[in-house]
Structure 1
Amino acid sequence: MVTTAGSAPTPGAILRLRALGYRVVATDVDPAAPGLYLADRGYLVPPGGSTGFLPEIRGICAKEEAGAVVPLVDEELDAVTELEDDGIAVLAPRREFVRTCLDKALLMARLADAGVPVPETRSAAAPAGDLVFPVVVKPRTGRGGRGVAVCASPAELARRIEHGGYPAADLIVQELLAGTEFTVSVVVWRDGAVQAVVPKEVILKRGVTQYAVTRRHERVAQVCRAVQRELRADGPFNVQLALDAAGEPRVFEINPRFSSTAPLTVAAGVDEIGGLLGQALAGGPRLADDWRDGVVMVRRWAEEFVDEADFVRHGVLPVADARDRGRDSRAGR
């Protein structure tokens, strides 16, 4: 099972896994999610944070005899990790690591205590005091740049806290790192051994990374390996970091799942999803930290074509509903 069929990298992941010979079931909250129609079977599910999500996912796994789940959105991670209790392989880090990463304030404190370099971070409820502006303000929980803003002055920060739609206690304020940003795939499984670290320099980011290039950077790799050593993810995770004025990498966020740039990791030579899935289900071989530097990802829309019978077979978005959605679009609704 692959979740979040409507996110940017999911359709490609589904097609890749099917090409490797897996039968893939996809889920999403939106019947228009394209991955639902590229999988062998698609299902609509409740939102990941709802009480109905886990029972629905568990029921689908039982019905489809799913051996593994690949969760690709933060809201679902905590619930999905419970499927391991059912004997299903969940391609995510261990539960404690997931819960730590989903609370950005807790994560920054844990990393700092472990000696992993991070930007200065504090609660937005604390006095601005000696903050050096500009700063980044963002929710303690959230993803995809939602609620994130850069504030150039104490007055702008105060306005953001007051009118941003979040209680001050639910926001953190971080030092803005002006250097090069990296998003890094860290490939590790339950034995705790890091199999590969693939840093990708961010070229363009709009919520998710749009353009990026694989870039060898030994110090970035060292910091990412330190995260695994100190916090024991024991599953795939994505480190987001940037260089400070001295060129030192500082971790500002960790996604306890595969990165949205996983397709670039694959293109560079490390099939992190397929490789770890093979290890989880069949004791497959470890992946090698052997990949090509200088591979650029250009994220774009891509069309896929299926027979109408296959489209209808999924029974998620009937053809009549699809036509209605098209008419709504033309009518400006």
Structure 2
Amino acid sequence: MVTTAGSAPTPGTILHLREQGFRVVATDIDPAAPGLYLADRGHLVPRGDSEAFLPRMRALCESEGAVAIVPLVDEELLPVGELDGDGLSVMLPRPGFVASCLDKYVLMRELSAAGIGIPRTWSASDPPPADVVADDASGGFVVKPRSGRGSRGVQLVGALAEVPAAVAASGYRADELIVQERVTGPEFTVSVVVWRDGGVQAVVPKEVLLKRGVTKYAVTRHHAEVERTCRAVQSALRADGPFNVQLCLDAEGRPRVFEINPRFSSTAALTVAAGVDEVAGLLRQAVTDGPRLTDTWREGVTMVRRWTDEFISEEEFASHGLAPAPTVPLVARGDDPAPRPRSTDPASGVAVRAR
């Protein structure tokens, strides 16, 4: 079962898994999500942060005979992790690692305690550290929520004196925000391929060439210190499941981790193209004791993210039987591109016959 069927990278993941021989069931909150039609079956579900989400997912897993879940959006990670076990593998790191990553302030403190390089970071409710006051970072500062995905709520400020105004304008309480020194060197998004035995099977750094909220263009790039840092994260924090490290290089070329996504990356397709099939490979290990992956991949493979179209007949489309979205109020979040339906009834998801 693959969630977040409306996210731009998810249809490609669904098609790839089907090509690899998996039967794929897709879920999303939006009946327009294209992945619903590209999976073997599709279902509407409530939002991942609603109380109705977990019961709905549990029922779907039982009715569809699911053996694994690939969750791809942060709001779902902690609740869906509760389904792991009894013949169902949830393709996530261990719950403690997931919880730490979803609170960016907790994560920064844990990384720092483990001796892993991070930008200077503090809670917006606290005064800045003395060394920051004495050395106002030339690259500026980042004010962002402790929780949340992508670039939502992130503000860039040029000087320390501008931080209070950014906090006041954020719409968040000060204790819900962190402030980080902005590291302006090359940025990397790094797939770390690991499963329950804790052994790192591959580390694939991808240098970000263009980012607008999410990575748009990236290229696989060997970098010994980046790879060492990512292995150190697994050694210190024991994810024991797939995760994605976001970091920048400082003026001395040292990696500085500013965020970790405790799930498969939205650039997992680039990892696959370079030679490490992290999603299908770890799925096989989880459900069939498949072989370990190897840390052998091609450098210089460049991802150009684009929209693409898939074509089916009118009869096939009509046969999906897509019903209207649940008749509940639409809830618009401030930085969503459009309102999306929210369901509060675990029985309100509608099965979609898809191909």
With normalisation by structure 2, the TM-score equals 0.87
Partner residue, 1:301: 307
User: Aligned partners of 2:316 and 2:288: how far apart in 1?
Assistant: 30
User: Aligned partners of 1:315 and 1:113: how far apart in 2?
Assistant: 53
Partner residue, 1:209: 215
Point out where structure 1 has 5 or more consecutive residues left out of the alignment.
Answer: 319-333
**RMSD, matched Cα:** 1.2
How far did 1:155 drift? 4.3
User: Aligned partners of 2:314 and 2:22: how far apart in 1?
Assistant: 22
Point out where structure 2 has 5 or more consecutive residues left out of the alignment.
Answer: 325-355
Alignment partner of 1:184 is 2:190: yes
**1:282-293 alignment to 2 at 5 Å?**
282-293=288-299
User: Aligned partners of 2:238 and 2:319: how far apart in 1?
Assistant: 42
Query: Against the structure 1 CA distance between its residues 135 and 189, is the aligned structure 2 distance closer, same or farther, given a 3 Å change threshold?
Result: same
| Structure with bigger RCO (C-alpha 8 Å, 6+ apart) | 2
SS in 1 for 2:180: strand
**1:23-102 alignment to 2 at 5 Å?**
23-102=23-102
How far did 1:314 drift? 3.1
Q: Structure 2: which amino acid aligns with 1:232?
A: R
User: Aligned partners of 2:90 and 2:152: how far apart in 1?
Assistant: 26
How far did 1:154 drift? 3.5
Q: Structure 1: which amino acid aligns with 2:220?
A: T
Partner residue, 1:327: none
Q: How many residues align?
A: 318
Structure with the larger helix share: 1
User: Aligned partners of 1:56 and 1:310: how far apart in 2?
Assistant: 26
How far did 1:153 drift? 2.4
User: Aligned partners of 1:38 and 1:225: how far apart in 2?
Assistant: 35
How far did 1:317 drift? 5.5
Contact 2:193 2:201 in 1 (8 A): yes
**1:115-134 alignment to 2 at 5 Å?**
115-128=115-128, 130-131=132-133, 132-133=136-137, 134=140
User: Aligned partners of 1:68 and 1:280: how far apart in 2?
Assistant: 8
User: Aligned partners of 1:43 and 1:67: how far apart in 2?
Assistant: 16
User: Aligned partners of 2:313 and 2:323: how far apart in 1?
Assistant: 14
1:135 is matched with which residue: 129, 141, 147?
141
SS in 2 for 1:162: helix
Contact 1:44 1:316 in 2 (8 A): no
User: Aligned partners of 1:274 and 1:312: how far apart in 2?
Assistant: 30
User: Aligned partners of 1:303 and 1:82: how far apart in 2?
Assistant: 35
Q: Deviations over 1:173-225 (max 9, x none)?
A: 00100100000000000000000000000000011100000000011000000
Instruction: List 4+ stretches of structure 1 deviating above 4 A.
Output: none
Partner residue, 1:20: 20
SS in 2 for 1:62: helix
Alignment partner of 1:162 is 2:156: no
Q: Structure 2: which amino acid aligns with 1:115?
A: G
Contact 2:91 2:242 in 1 (8 A): yes
With normalisation by structure 1, the TM-score equals 0.93
